[in-house]
Structure 1
Amino acid sequence: MAVSVSGAAGFVLGMDLGTSSVKVVLLDALSKTVTDSRSFPTNSDISSTSDIHAKEQDPALIIAALNQCMDALPKDKLKKVKRIGVCGQMHGIVLWKSKSGSEWLSEDDNTRFIPKDISQLVTWQDGRCSADFLSSLPKPDSHLSVATGFGCATVFWYMKHRPEYLSGFSDAGTIHDYVVSMLCNLDKCVMTGQNAASWGYFNTTTNKWNTQILKDAGFPVHLLPVVVESGAVAGHTSSEWYGIPAHTAVGAALGDFQCSVYSCMTDEGDAVLNMSTSAQLTFSMPAEFTPPNSPDPLSPVAYFPYLHGSYLAVAASLNGGNVMATFVRMLDSWMKEFGLEVNESRIYSQLIQSALAQPNTDLTMTATLLGERHDPISRASVSQISPSNLSLGHVTRALCRGVIENMATMMPPQSLKATGVKCIIGSGSALSCNTVLQQEVERVFPFPVVYGKNVDSAVGVAMVFNDLR
């Protein structure tokens, strides 16, 4: 069942449990505007002394950050919350015991829960599943490949290296699925196809787990969540929570990427280019689109389940603002070797100023400094070097051009046109503060480009549960 509060007075609470911080917003259900927003860092990373590839977080610290956010919201508005939407970091997995995964406490006029009988969160950044290990796993019935950091891959890793560990838990989900389960006191974790697809071994066409394939491999399928429609109500709050009344509808958790897109994609003809540390270019596929039957690991474009059975075509690059940041750090390091101290923000500012004064260049730069998921061995390179194009302006212009041209290589402008894209929404910190990157976007992609509508997953999930019927 999908939900709607359109036309109803009150607020929708949107929550995003991210990799480094938690953010909550209150969306006015009638005006569809954000009235309040709070964010706190989780500081939840756990250092592993036994495995440098392990990336885990402490759920208690994540929930503590969520509690900080909730405590900072206006109490009078929380009492008028009609729906709760939750999203968060995808792919990762946390395990808990059904009905005892948290303990409810009441103090200072607030009722809240704290984690109990719960594992550490193995995040999407976990690198313990090597290429050899992944190749030993059964082939999934899915159009998406299985990678390290994916929930099902992590369970397979535990099966091989710590099989006794899994026997202590009855449920599993993403960290945001866990929050929904605790708020609603669910007997069994529920999960949307958006998050299930991010775990691997899930067929988005049938909306079902690869249960038989997993059973044949000895996988503990009782840990798999029950899959529900994206936009469905998972349950209702079992208790008052920070003033939000008991029996308030809680949506099944959604993926943070899909919610970030929803927060700024206002038209079917929009594509969203988000560039912060990394970069993503995405657009909504036509309603009749169905993904291929099997994954293509060499393709730079993946298809993520979205809403109403639709898909997002996504070119996710590992190279975005981090490339420019690396260049800045390199210059800073060089200058320190000469005994010079220059603030990095001043270096950045000067690079932009120099490149703006150099509107074109024949210097060519391939900016895949960190490789790409579909081509992990690719690296950056510079060509067409001459004595006349070695200024800061030329080099910075070529670097910014290379970053954008890499995106165009992954998702060519002609493919955008062929699917009906008419406008690009430009967002993200790297793009919003770099006029040179903006110029290169407008040069490479022959579409109107709109800036200033930054993606926000917490806002997006609130909008979803305010708009869906």
Structure 2
Amino acid sequence: MANQQLFLGIDCGTQGTKAVILDARSGQVLGQGAAAHSLISGANGRREQDTAQWLEAFTLATHRALLAANVDGRTILGIGVSGQQHGLVLLDDRGQVLRPAKLWCDTESTPENDRLLAHLGGEKGSLERLGIVIAPGYTVSKLLWTKEQHPEVFARIARILLPHDYLNYWLTGRSCSEYGDASGTGYFNVRTRQWDLQLLRDIDPTGRLQAALPELIDAHQPVGTILPGIAEHLGINPKALVSSGGGDNMMGAIGTGNIKPGAITMSLGSSGTVYAYAEQANVSPDASVATFCSSSGGWLPLICTMNLTNATGAIRELFELDIEAFNALVAQAPIGADGMCMLPFLNGERVPALPHASGSLLGLTMTNLTRANLCRAVVEGTTFGLRYGLDLLRQNGLQSRSICLIGGGSKSPVWRQIVADIMNTPVICTEQSEAAALGAAIQAAWCKSWANGHEDSLAVLCERCVKLDLASETLPIAANVAACQQAYERYQQHVATL
């Protein structure tokens, strides 16, 4: 056992926290654990979380993973944390959290975002200045919202952290941010990799926000060593190194080996994401493409759709179907669902850019209105949104030789075939479906390796630790591709009328 090199990877998501124990020497995941979070939902699109839940779930998931792996926590050499992007965690000068964290899926700050976007000179001005177009989910509008809705909280802000930054702060007592997650704040320039301090001064001339910013560090730099009390609480080695960590998409890229051009990662989670590695910050003229920084030293152009398994789940619940019964119905229906088309914009939508849209069902007739067609239509409709985004990435010069599928939806063979056919690209899953938690563990091994004088490059670690599930490989079927293309064109026509 002495030749193992054990790392803990944590992914703090919207639904819960996942933990994996990785042996970076053999590349094997030895055990995993999970614990759930709940959401605070309210009118106007409020979506918040109590950060104390994250700490409880972190602890529980870690204990469960150590138990499943049957290893002693004192042998853990390092910890990497992946967190949901864009969320806002505010601390006072004693390090106490001031209010619940506002999440990526919160749209309550839409009016503030509209005003900030106008201030930047619209989409074009935002792209020129920051390299991204700020959206209501980003952190910057949440700051302005806090100032206007909760001035008493705003007056006490001493630290502004993203969810993964906050967990790193809890682990180490140090306030830092890494370029990948920082690039989703809306007050960060992705080309120069620096905070846009002027934008924060425009929101608050006193300089309070600027003073509350975390220090920026490189992806391979550790935040520090775990605090003794937290190490004891988690049952972890008190010398464990905490890596820079990153946003869930950046960590998912590492966890799928997406660290050089040519690979595309597609996540079928509650929201859908498509992203690829780029060596330069080629900012797309299309506002829907977010040219974030990666957490491996490059850039990570990304599109995100707001409706994926949350939409398929809504139809499943409507018909009271379990996953298997739902998939069986999807498989029964023909491609194009007999002409039924669903625009699954139950949450509004980011890609295509229709923030105020709601969902709709089109092309219904007396003969095609069946449960199977409706199940098929929601899977196709959500996947068409990802195709729309993939086309935008391709127009920006990204090559896609194959697509690596992750997230809950990737476990469905039916859905994998639909993705392969709609994208006309081979699809494969990784053995480890918790790609973000795995990526965080790999990044922790990379940080430790840097500290030891470059034993292993990130590429070597990814090669060793990211394993493809060859049984999941799914190739496009020519006849299906043609039928899917027709259905996709119909979807595009429907979208155009909105």
Question: Is the shorter-chain TM-score for this pair beyond 0.5, marking a shared fold?
Answer: yes
Are 1:432 and 2:395 matched, yes or no? no
The correspondence of residues 17-28 of structure 1 with structure 2, limited to 5 A, is 17-28=12-23
SS of 2:72 mapped into structure 1:
helix
Q: Which range moves more in the overlay, 173-182 or 360-369? A: 360-369
Which protein is richer in helix relative to its size? 2
The alpha-carbon deviation at position 229 of structure 1 amounts to 1.4
Are 1:228 and 2:217 matched, yes or no? yes
The correspondence of residues 390-409 of structure 1 with structure 2, limited to 5 A, is 390=369, 392-394=371-373, 396-409=375-388
User: Aligned partners of 1:34, 1:125: CA distance in 2, in Å?
Assistant: 30
The alpha-carbon deviation at position 197 of structure 1 amounts to 1.7
Counterpart of 2:466 in structure 1 is: none
Counterpart of 2:273 in structure 1 is: 280
> Alpha carbons of 1:308 and 1:326: their partners in 2 closer, same or farther (altered >3 Å)?
closer
User: Aligned partners of 2:195, 2:393: CA distance in 1, in Å?
Assistant: 35
The correspondence of residues 62-461 of structure 1 with structure 2, limited to 5 A, is 62-72=54-64, 73-74=66-67, 76-97=71-92, 100-101=94-95, 116=96, 118-131=98-111, 134-136=114-116, 138-139=119-120, 141-186=129-174, 189-217=175-203, 218=205, 220=208, 221-239=210-228, 241-242=231-232, 243-265=235-257, 268-285=261-278, 287-291=279-283, 299-330=287-318, 332=319, 348-355=326-333, 358=334, 363=339, 365-370=341-346, 371-373=348-350, 374-378=353-357, 389-390=368-369, 392-394=371-373, 396-412=375-391, 415=394, 419-433=398-412, 435=414, 437-451=415-429, 453=431, 454-461=433-440
Are 1:41 and 2:36 matched, yes or no? yes
What's the C-alpha RMSD, in Å, of the aligned pairs?
3.2
User: Aligned partners of 2:402, 2:181: CA distance in 1, in Å?
Assistant: 28
Give yes or no for contact 1:319–1:367 (8 Å, CA) kept in 2: no
Counterpart of 1:108 in structure 2 is: none
The alpha-carbon deviation at position 209 of structure 1 amounts to 1.0
SS of 2:130 mapped into structure 1:
coil
Give yes or no for contact 2:254–2:439 (8 Å, CA) kept in 1: yes
Give yes or no for contact 1:265–1:425 (8 Å, CA) kept in 2: no
The alpha-carbon deviation at position 79 of structure 1 amounts to 1.0
User: Aligned partners of 1:392, 1:57: CA distance in 2, in Å?
Assistant: 35
Deviation digits for residues 289-342 of structure 1, max 9, x if unmatched?
4325xxx6x633222211344222222122323333333344x3xxxxxxxxx6
Counterpart of 1:462 in structure 2 is: 441
Q: Which range moves more in the overlay, 204-213 or 265-274? A: 265-274
Counterpart of 1:338 in structure 2 is: none
SS of 2:349 mapped into structure 1:
coil
The alpha-carbon deviation at position 226 of structure 1 amounts to 1.1
Larger radius of gyration: 1
The alpha-carbon deviation at position 14 of structure 1 amounts to 1.1
Give yes or no for contact 2:133–2:290 (8 Å, CA) kept in 1: no
The alpha-carbon deviation at position 30 of structure 1 amounts to 0.6
Structure showing greater relative contact order (alpha-carbon pairs closer than 8 Å, 6 or more residues apart): 1
> Alpha carbons of 1:384 and 1:9: their partners in 2 closer, same or farther (altered >3 Å)?
closer
SS of 1:146 mapped into structure 2:
coil
Counterpart of 1:4 in structure 2 is: none
AA partner of residue 439 (structure 1): Q
User: Aligned partners of 1:346, 1:253: CA distance in 2, in Å?
Assistant: 35
SS of 1:126 mapped into structure 2:
coil
Give yes or no for contact 1:96–1:172 (8 Å, CA) kept in 2: yes
Question: How many positions carry a matched residue from both structures?
Answer: 425
User: Aligned partners of 1:395, 1:164: CA distance in 2, in Å?
Assistant: 49
The alpha-carbon deviation at position 133 of structure 1 amounts to 5.6
AA partner of residue 348 (structure 1): F
User: Aligned partners of 1:118, 1:238: CA distance in 2, in Å?
Assistant: 22
The alpha-carbon deviation at position 362 of structure 1 amounts to 5.3
Q: Percent identity?
A: 22
Give yes or no for contact 1:432–1:452 (8 Å, CA) kept in 2: no
The alpha-carbon deviation at position 277 of structure 1 amounts to 2.5
Unpaired stretches in structure 2, ≥5 consecutive residues:
121-125, 451-498
Counterpart of 1:104 in structure 2 is: none
| TM-score after normalising by structure 2 | 0.75
SS of 1:412 mapped into structure 2:
helix
SS of 2:223 mapped into structure 1:
strand
Give yes or no for contact 2:245–2:251 (8 Å, CA) kept in 1: no
User: Aligned partners of 2:63, 2:115: CA distance in 1, in Å?
Assistant: 46
AA partner of residue 75 (structure 2): K
| TM-score after normalising by structure 1 | 0.79
Deviation digits for residues 150-179 of structure 1, max 9, x if unmatched?
333222222223333233342221232122
The alpha-carbon deviation at position 22 of structure 1 amounts to 1.6
